[in-house]
Amino acid sequence: MDPRQLIDRRHLDFLLHEVLDVEDLCRYARFAEHGRETFAAAIDLAQQIALDKFLPHNRKADLQEPRLVDGQVELIPEIGEAVAAFCAAGFPAVLADYDRGGMQMPFVVGAACDALFCSANAGTIAYPTLARAAANLLDVYATDEQKRLYMQPILEGRYFGTMCLSEPQAGSSLADLRTTATPQADGSYRISGAKMWISAGDHELGENIVHLVLARIHGAPAGVRGISLFIVPRWRVDADGRRGARNDVRLAGLNHKMGQRASVNTFLKFGEQGDCVGYLVGAPNNGLAQMFHMMNEERIGVGLSAIQQAAASYQYALAYARERHQGRHPDQKDAASPAVALIEHADVRRMLLLQKCYVEGGQMLAFDAALLVDRQHDADEQVREHSHLLLELLTPIVKAWNSDYALRANDLAIQVFGGYGYTRDYPVEQCWRDNRINPIHEGTNGIQALDLLGRKALMRDGAALRLLLQRIAQTCAQVADDATLAPFAADLQRAAGLVGTVTQAAGRQMAAGEVRAVLANAGHYLHLLGHVAVAWGWLRMAAAAQRALAAGTAEADFYAGKLQSCRAFFATELPQVELAARLIGATDRSAYDMRDAWF
């Protein structure tokens, strides 16, 4: 397959401009100097670097994972070359203000650029994008001095960054973290503890690594209310920004992963010698709320990365199905007749169509959420508030639905290849392995589901969910007079009605004390709402395709493919919401009342 086929720019342009109309953002003062041309230039540059620097070493980095040699992490040199090209092109500062040397691009355009790097090499892109997310957090919460010393070098591509939350004994249970912070007379803190599963936690790609560490100040309240956030640099920095002595942060070991092996994953110990210096970010005991600024950005990134790994395996499977000739149609009895291309077989077409449904629907979901980040720059206070509410609701769905269904797409891609797909002769098995982490990190999908049903869907008396259902109803009303789209609109309205009904019932049951019983079905709820959100996206894509076809176009096949994919999603996937709704709304929960001893 021609590597350029890995990235479907035509579909990306369709989403950004024909469906989401991202150029409308240029009416905001922040993006006024931009236009479709500057957006395209950034995406073109990202595509070039992704194909030239990231894709070529994707397999090599998988086979030659990071090693610990004489106390240092050793990476293959191509990783450093790719990251250097990314930084030289200015992508660490793609979102940053002009006066900080940034491009001041919309978040959704930055996400589109990141998507191309994720398709090419999900492991290597983790180094600079994690750093950029750390810089974005510091931009909101850090002091001017902290920004000068730690954020600005990240934007310049000289420093990198991490997020240090999980601990060996606690995992995702942040209320149980034990890392401590002791105040010093000079206003700094001494940090002591250990952090596990830290991506990009130690390497030699830049001058410094800025660890953002959650810790508990002595005497702080128990649980998550007593967590604070600290800057803990790998190397200490003086007041002039010069790198000084090594901080008391020690690499205790590497975690050897199933996939995404290019990105080193570490076990770090802080303060073993009693001299780990950290600096408080913002007010004490607000650390978890501050860290969620980075986590939520990363959750959108995880959902996008997951669906891009599915997009890559879909492109590989599509090219293979067109090139590989094998077998004949069931009604062809002449064994001497030529073999047909795999794509001619009905079951192969079914698997390819499902991949297209998951991939393009998931991309629409992720870019729609990214656009909501930018809508919070609107001059209208209500637009800002509504964008924030919708983003709160959709973020766990972007992360969890995309990572779940991206894996299903990866699995179907392997099946299209048959036995070859299960070997390392083709890249689809690596796509699956690289993707398998995404339902786990940045908050497992189970945690996302608990957050969605236990908090997001019911917050402010269901305001965010009502807003989403109103937006869905508006789209359905807009296409109600179109004979092709009206049946889809009717199906979507019924599914949206189910969401409203089961959410209200779940809220009443939790208010009556059945919290554990209701939240046992949180995973079903996330898939229910996720399917409805993705179906909404497909209806909007179908409407854009209908407009293009009605206007007359030389790309009739391209737009017909969108309509058929919408039809397939509504026919095969959307009906699944009825089963999920029944499970969530069931009053008899005895089917789930399995006891430990019975296993």
Once rounded to an integer, what is the mean pLDDT over residues 434-459?
96
Once rounded to an integer, what is the mean pLDDT over residues 441-448?
93
Residue 588: per-residue pLDDT: 61
3-state secondary structure 179-236: CEEEECCCCCEEEEEEEEEEECCCCCCCCEEEEEEEEEECCCCCHHHHCEEEEEECEE
Confidence of residue 589 (pLDDT cuts 50, 70, 90): low
> Which residue stretches of 253-380 are H helix?
287-323, 346-375
The CA-atom distances, in angstroms, between 40 and each of 22, 44, 119, 528 are 11, 6, 18, 35
252 DSSP 8-state letter: E
Sign of CA dihedral 190, 195, 199, 205: positive
Bridge partner list, 68: 73
Residue 176, pLDDT above cutoff 80: yes
Once rounded to an integer, what is the mean pLDDT over residues 170-174?
80
Residue 591: per-residue pLDDT: 64
pLDDT digits (tens, 9 = 90+) for 509-544: 999 999 988 999 999 999 999 999 999 999 999 999
> Amino acid identity of 52?
D
The CA-atom distances, in angstroms, between 346 and each of 23, 25, 330, 401, 563 are 40, 43, 10, 27, 19
Residue 590: per-residue pLDDT: 63
Residues with catalytic function: 442
Residue 3, pLDDT above cutoff 90: no
Residue 253, pLDDT above cutoff 70: yes
- Least confident among 44-48, 210-214, 517-521: 517-521
pLDDT digits (tens, 9 = 90+) for 195-210: 999 999 999 999 999 9
Percentage of residues in the chain with pLDDT exceeding 70?
99
Residue 175: per-residue pLDDT: 81
Residue 411, pLDDT above cutoff 70: yes
3-state secondary structure 131-197: HHHHHHHHHHHCCHHHHHHHHHHHHCCCEEEEEECCCCCCCCCHHHCCCEEEECCCCCEEEEEEEEE
Once rounded to an integer, what is the mean pLDDT over residues 30-50?
98
> pTM of the entire structure?
0.96
Give the distance, in angstroms, between the CA of residue 472 and the centroid of all CA atoms in the same chain. 23
Confidence of residue 452 (pLDDT cuts 50, 70, 90): very high
Residue 498, pLDDT above cutoff 90: yes
Closest C-alpha among 157, 161, 114, 111 to residue 134: 161
DSSP secondary structure string for all residues of 521-575: THHHHHHHHHHHHHHHHHHHHHHHHHHHHHH--S-HHHHHHHHHHHHHIIIIITT
Residue 424: per-residue pLDDT: 95
Residue 555, pLDDT above cutoff 80: yes
> Amino acid identity of 372?
L
Residue 42: per-residue pLDDT: 98
Once rounded to an integer, what is the mean pLDDT over residues 449-470?
97
Residue 198: per-residue pLDDT: 96
Residue 584, pLDDT above cutoff 90: no
The pairing of strands 249-254 and 265-270 is antiparallel
Integer Rg of the chain from CA: 25
Residue 169, pLDDT above cutoff 90: no
Confidence of residue 292 (pLDDT cuts 50, 70, 90): confident
Confidence of residue 592 (pLDDT cuts 50, 70, 90): low
Closest C-alpha among 386, 526, 404 to residue 454: 526
Give the distance, in angstroms, between the CA of residue 111 and the centroid of all CA atoms in the same chain. 10
pLDDT digits (tens, 9 = 90+) for 362-389: 999 999 999 999 999 999 999 999 999 9
Percentage of residues in the chain with pLDDT exceeding 90?
91
Residue 103, pLDDT above cutoff 90: yes
Once rounded to an integer, what is the mean pLDDT over residues 62-75?
95
Task: Report the chain's mean pLDDT, rounded to a whole number.
Answer: 95
Q: Six-digit token pair at 127?
A: 């180094």
Q: Cα(430)–Cα(421) distance, rounded to whole angstroms?
A: 10
